[in-house]
Structures are given as structure tokens and as C-alpha cells.
Amino acid sequence: MTDPFALSMLLIVLLSITGLSVGLAMMCGSFLYLILKGYDPSIASEQLLQGLYNGYTLLAIPLFILAADIMNIGSLADRLLRFCQALVGRFRGGLGHVNVVSSVIFSGMSGSAVADAVGMGKIIIGLMTRDGKYTPSYAAAITAAAATIGPIIPPSIPMVLYALVADQSVGFLFAAGLAPGLLMALVMGLMNYVIARKRNFPTDEAVPLSELPRATLQAVAALMLPVILLGGIYSGIVTPTEAAAVAAAYALIISILLYRSVSFRAFWSTLCAGARSAGSIGILIAGSITFNYVITREDVPAKLAGWLTSLDLSQTGFLIVINILILLLGCVLEGGAILLIVVPILVPAVQAMGIDLVHFGVIAVVNAMLGLITPPYGLLLFITASITNQPMRAIVRDIWPFILALLAALGIITFVPDFVLFLPRLIGYQG
């Protein structure tokens, strides 16, 4: 007789290939497993309700999405971009540097790679391709690569998802992502400089240093958002979920009262778009909760942990294997699916190898974000291709140098745990 678990996995793969969302595919596979095993199918509903009832942290996800969408319809993104242009536009490959720096700043507000690419990405791609300064494919490539910083520097929606499945502190995970995110920005900036010199890309028109205070003043309200957000979390005034609500409220207040750049029609459209995005993520989470019950019943995490332990790998060898595994899965799976389906299976093996779970969380999220810019799935590649109307092969050709730079950063993140855990330990982490 065919194994029910194997049949459920086969159904999930087939439904996903045909275009059904991964979340719904996991639900269908879970129901098939329960029926074939003779269990009451209502167990799936029970597991789902219990998972959501205990998932207060999950409320942060739609709130961070809303905050990012409000910043996109207001003039916050434009002001931040002008500030970045004044700061680094004068260097060789200036608008490429502006692209990376703006992603660093915007990531401190949105927590989403897609929000970064769609929001700031549209604006900066337009600036880069104007007057033929940069090829559209290069503008698309560096925009997609820079957007991967968004979920690494806090706040981060993928970090919230990892905290859910690994039972770790969101605050410590946020702190752990700051240094790796800045490292990713640094290696991309260096790669942009090298490519700009090789391909003779221009510098942007230099903004006089005397104008920098003015540009900073115009953007200061937007620049204060990450300070308020992270200051509130690490001071203990608010939880990460409450901080997400504060971020959304702050973005709305300064957009309406200070910048006067949001109409009621635009705000309503933002609420609808945010609801659709949150619903899409919610279906994925719901599917993962029900499927995790199946995985638990089959004792898959313990079996995998036993198998990996039997290979007698060192920590270094184990981390190399895990990195390769997640990177390969990122080529065909969406990042959220990796964090909600694959990572929970790996966590027991990670613990058995004595690897810190906060450190591993950063490794897993960085790997998942790299999957967003690797073909054939590469969600960020599709987004920037639609913005620039460029063929995928041209964007892939230009993004490979940035993928290699990010892999170098991933090596440091993976094999120098103190680099990742330094900031969390400063705020009380005992790992």
C-alpha cells in the first residue's frame, strides 16, 4: 500500500506546479493525509485555530505591510530618495549606490523585500534609466539584489515567521539581522563600484554639501521611523507587534498632517492592497500550520535530525550542507514557504548540532532572500522585469555578480557567529 505521507507530498507538489498557492496546496495535502490515515479531518481545523490563537506575533505582518504601503503612496519614499542622492550620488555608479542605500533605509520601515522593490524600486529604476545613464537590465538587477536587504535589517516579516516556527524572540532576531544587513549593503556597494568603473557608468550630478542639511531636514520625519520603531522594541516600551502598529500609525500621520500627500481614495486603495497581501501570507501560514501537524505525526524532524547526526558532520560541514539545501530550494520555492515548511524540519537537527537558533534564523532568512533573485522562480526578478519590460535573461546576466557578492557575505554570516550575535548579546541575549 502506498504511504499516505508520500501521497500527500506528491499532491502538494502537483497542485503547486499547476499554479495553486502553496498554502492551499498544503491544506489539500494535509486533508488527504488525515483521510488516508483514518483520522478525523476536523483535526486540521483544530490545529489551525490553536496555531493562530497562540500567534499574537503574526499580527505584526499585516501592520508592517500597511506601513510600507502608506510610505509608498505618501511622499516619504521620494524624500528618502532625495536624501540618499545627496549623500552618495556623487560617487562612481552614483545611482547604483543610491539604490543600495535607499534600500537600507527603507528596510528599516517595511520589513519586506517585495515592498522595497515595488515602492522605492519603481522610482530609482526610472532615475537610473533616464537619459540612458544605465541599462534597464542593470537597473533591474541591482534593484532586485538591493531589495533582499529589506527582510534582514529590522523590522523583518520573514524574521517574524521564523520566530513563529522556531519559538525564538522576535526582538533578538531583529537585533541579529542589523549587522548582516549592513554587510550585504557593503558588498553590493563595492560590486556596484567595480562594475561602474568597468562599464563606465556615470556619477550622478553632485549635490553641494551645503544642500545636505536641507535634504536631511526634509527627510528627517521619515528617517525617524526606524528610530522610533526599534527604540520602542529594545527599550521594552512596545512589543514587536505593537511597534508594527505604531509604524503604520506614524507613517499615516506624517503623510497626512506633515507632508499632506495622501488622499482618502489612495488610502482606501492601500488598505485593500494591504489586505490582499496579508491574506496571501495568511493562507501560506494556515497551510503550514496544518501541514506541520502531518510532519509531526510522521516524526519527520526527529528522523531527519537522526540521519544528519549519523553522517558525523562537523558544525562547519553541517552548515555548508544546510546552506546548499536552502539555496537550492530557494530556486524553486518562495521564501515564506521555505521558512514555514522546511525550516521547522531542520530546527531539531540544528539544535542537536549545538548551533544557536538565533544565528541559524539569520542564516535561513538570508538564504531564503537569495532565493528571491535566483532563477527560475526569483520573485524579485519577475517584479523588476515587469517594471522595466526587460527579458529575464538580460536581468539574470546582470544580477550574477551581485549574487556572488551576497554569497560571500553569507559565508561570513554563516561561519562567524559572533558577528551575528554581537548586538543581541548587548541587549541581553544569553546564546
Residue 241 confidence (pLDDT): 77
Q: What percent of the chain has pLDDT over 70?
A: 86
d(CA 13, CA 60): 30
| Residue 150: CB atoms within 10 Å | 32
CA-based nearest residue to 127, from 78, 190, 91: 78
In this structure, what DSSP letter does residue 40 have? -
Going from N- to C-terminal start, the domains of the chain cover 58-286+300-426
Q: Do 76 and 254 form a contact (C-beta atoms < 8 A)?
A: yes
148 contact partners, CB below 8 Å, separation of at least 6? 113, 184, 369, 370, 372, 373, 380, 406
Residue 207 confidence (pLDDT): 64
Residue 378 confidence (pLDDT): 75
pLDDT band for 279, please (50, 70, 90 cuts). Answer: confident
CA-based nearest residue to 332, from 12, 6, 3, 78: 12
Higher pLDDT, 1 or 63: 63
Average pLDDT over residues 346-353: 87
Average pLDDT, the chain: 81
Q: What is the pLDDT of residues 117-176, one digit of tens each?
A: 766 677 778 777 876 778 899 989 999 999 899 889 888 888 988 998 888 988 899 999
d(CA 276, CA 293): 26
Tally: H helices and E strands in the chain = 21, 0
Q: What does the angle CA 90 – CA 181 – CA 421 come to, to the nearest 5 degrees?
A: 140
The residue with cell 527603507 is: 106
The number of residues making up the chain comes to 431
Q: What is the pLDDT of residues 316-331, one digit of tens each?
A: 998 998 899 888 888 7
> What DSSP line would sit under 222-252, residue for residue?
HHHHHHHHHHHHHTTSS-HHHHHHHHHHHHH
pLDDT of 312 > 60? The answer is yes
d(CA 116, CA 250): 18
Residue 380 confidence (pLDDT): 83
pLDDT band for 415, please (50, 70, 90 cuts). Answer: very high
Q: What is the pLDDT of residues 366-387, one digit of tens each?
A: 998 998 898 776 778 877 887 7
Residue 149 grid cell: 536587504
Residue type, 142: I
d(CA 9, CA 350): 23
